[in-house]
């Protein structure tokens, strides 16, 4: 009898390399090896106390049933208020879909937006999972290379060269993972104008909003309503494991998205929605303090990596990553990252995880304590000296 094989579409899904490195680290730590984590984008600070308190109070009130499939109206209203107060954007709560993390929001959106063979334009490098979400929805990710000497920013000309009659959207991510760069408002305006000319929506991943250390990160909703916005609570509010995100979409997409949510997920976790509401309403002082901590780490890491000879032409001003050029050391970033892990016991993410144009780079996360950053960077310095 012929064995049953997994669906062919699963063969197109590439591994998430940083998670495989993290799992390798867990194996090393299990046998007593001390590894410094500079690979993963996970806040090391505690989830604020008022978020934990709000969650427990919701539990005590027995708010553990299904919510509205679009999300608890209290949270959707808080998100609407947040976008009005921070960006001057009017977002009706009926245009907000609350999900169990931002990843399900991506799965739902591309399922609702893309027919087989449709194309979504993304930058290269990009967040590693974007192409896999698009492919799983039977779409085609179309890469537009972005370059270090241009600040890793899209140019409208490069985007336009990739637009075809199958293009369904232009995706942006600012502040960016992996580069940490923030798209200037002028460039966002230019991309919006280009999208408008071609009748296309802009898909904006804003998960790192709030983590900006120079200037500000504008929202795409300041420029157009013909946009889809991903955001969530993992990064800014230190709630990675609580899995809470949301999608803002044009009104005509809300019913299809709602039906998909009802069938695939029913609703997001009720208690986590209470936690998210508290985060948006009370988090100002804590998030500002967190940003000051990250900024000190950012400056320290950039200085140390430059002293080691790694290339950082454009210093990152958002998220919590430094994307450093290591091509003079190795053009195989995966092998280099594994060698650093095995010999220096420091976890870093290879640039190839983020697309072909990320090859030769290493991504370093400063979402770790200053003590651990110093220890890890000291180990890296010794490692690079030993390679000379």
Do both 71 and 108 map to the same domain? Answer: yes
Do both 232 and 353 map to the same domain? Answer: no
Tokens standing for residue 304: 């140390």
Is 191 a domain residue? yes
pLDDT value for 286 = 83
% of the chain at pLDDT higher than 70? 100
In eight-state DSSP terms, residue 6 is P
172, 126 contact by CB (below 8 A): no
- What is the per-residue pLDDT across 146-203, written as a single tens digit (0 to 9) for each? 999 999 999 999 999 999 999 999 999 999 999 999 999 999 999 999 999 999 999 9
pLDDT value for 264 = 96
Do both 326 and 352 map to the same domain? Answer: yes
Boundary of a domain, candidates 222, 252, 282: 282
Is 110 a domain residue? yes
Do both 133 and 177 map to the same domain? Answer: yes
- What is the per-residue pLDDT across 320-335, written as a single tens digit (0 to 9) for each? 999 999 999 999 999 9
CA distance 368 to 277: 26
180, 194 contact by CB (below 8 A): no
Confidence of residue 14 (pLDDT cuts 50, 70, 90): confident
pLDDT value for 356 = 96
Nearest CA to 325 among 177, 149, 130, 124? 149
Boundary of a domain, candidates 256, 282, 308: 282
Boundary of a domain, candidates 260, 282, 304: 282
125, 179 contact by CB (below 8 A): yes
Nearest CA to 347 among 44, 41, 42, 37? 37
pLDDT value for 125 = 97
In eight-state DSSP terms, residue 311 is B
Tokens standing for residue 23: 């799992």
Task: Indicate if the pLDDT at residue 350 is higher than 80.
Answer: yes
Task: Indicate if the pLDDT at residue 46 is higher than 90.
Answer: no
Q: For residue 71, what is the domain's CATH number?
A: 3.40.640.10
CA distance 135 to 146: 21
- What is the per-residue pLDDT across 231-285, written as a single tens digit (0 to 9) for each? 999 999 989 999 999 999 999 999 999 999 999 999 999 999 999 999 999 877 8
Q: For residue 38, what is the domain's CATH number?
A: 3.90.1150.10
Task: Indicate if the pLDDT at residue 388 is higher than 80.
Answer: no
Domain that holds residue 247: 63-282
Q: Which residues of 143-161 are buried (b: 16+ CB within 10 A; e: fewer)?
A: bbebebeebbbbebebbee
Do both 241 and 98 map to the same domain? Answer: yes
Query: What radius of gyration, in Å, describes the C-alpha atoms of the chain?
Result: 21
Task: Indicate if the pLDDT at residue 387 is higher than 90.
Answer: no
Tokens standing for residue 339: 């060698």
pLDDT value for 65 = 95
CA distance 374 to 152: 27
In eight-state DSSP terms, residue 169 is E
Do both 71 and 195 map to the same domain? Answer: yes
For the chain, the helix, strand and coil percentages under 3-state DSSP, each to the nearest 5: 45, 15, 40
Average pLDDT, whole number, for the chain?
95
φ, ψ at 293 (rounded to 5°): -65, -45
Instruction: Report the side by side order of strands in the sheet with 349-350.
Output: 321-325, 361-365, 349-350
Residue 145: CA count within 13 A, CB half-sphere: 7
H or E element that contains 193: helix 185-197
- What is the per-residue pLDDT across 359-372, written as a single tens digit (0 to 9) for each? 999 999 999 999 99
């Amino acid at each position: 009898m012929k064995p049953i094989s997994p669906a062919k579409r699963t063969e197109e899904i590439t591994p998430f390399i940083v998670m495989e490195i993290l799992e390798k680290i867990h194996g090393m730590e299990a046998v007593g090896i001390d590894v410094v984590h500079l690979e993963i984008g996970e806040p090391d600070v505690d989830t604020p106390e008022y978020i934990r308190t709000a969650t427990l109070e919701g539990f005590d009130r027995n708010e553990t049933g299904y919510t509205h499939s679009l999300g608890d109206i209290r949270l959707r209203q808080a998100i609407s208020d947040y976008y009005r107060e921070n960006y001057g954007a009017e977002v009706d709560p009926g245009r907000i879909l609350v999900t169990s993390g931002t990843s399900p929001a991506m799965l739902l959106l591309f399922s609702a937006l893309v027919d087989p063979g449709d194309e979504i334009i993304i930058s290269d490098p990009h967040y590693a999972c974007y192409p896999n979400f698009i492919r799983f929805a039977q779409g085609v990710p179309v890469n537009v290379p972005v370059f270090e000497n241009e600040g890793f920013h899209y140019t409208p000309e490069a985007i336009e060269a990739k637009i075809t009659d199958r293009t369904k959207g232009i995706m942006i991510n600012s502040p960016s993972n992996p580069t940490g760069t923030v798209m200037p408002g002028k460039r966002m305006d230019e991309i919006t104008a280009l999208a408008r000319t071609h009748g296309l929506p802009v898909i904006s991943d804003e998960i790192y909003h709030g983590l900006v250390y120079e200037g500000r990160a504008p929202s795409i909703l300041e420029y157009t309503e013909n946009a889809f916005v991903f955001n969530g609570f993992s990064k800014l509010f230190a709630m990675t494991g609580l899995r809470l995100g949301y999608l803002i979409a044009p009104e005509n997409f809300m019913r299809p998205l709602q039906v998909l949510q009802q069938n695939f997920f029913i609703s997001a976790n009720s208690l986590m929605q209470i936690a998210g509401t508290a985060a948006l309403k009370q988090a100002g002082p804590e998030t500002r303090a967190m940003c000051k901590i990250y900024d000190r780490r950012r400056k320290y890491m950039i200085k140390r990596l430059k002293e080691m000879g790694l290339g950082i032409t454009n210093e990152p001003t958002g998220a919590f990553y430094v994307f450093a050029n290591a091509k003079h050391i190795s053009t195989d970033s995966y092998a280099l990252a594994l060698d650093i892990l095995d010999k220096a016991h420091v976890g870093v993410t290879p640039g190839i995880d983020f697309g072909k144009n990320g090859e030769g780079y290493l991504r370093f996360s400063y979402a770790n304590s200053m003590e651990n950053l110093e220890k890890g960077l000291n180990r890296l310095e010794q490692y690079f000296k030993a390679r000379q």
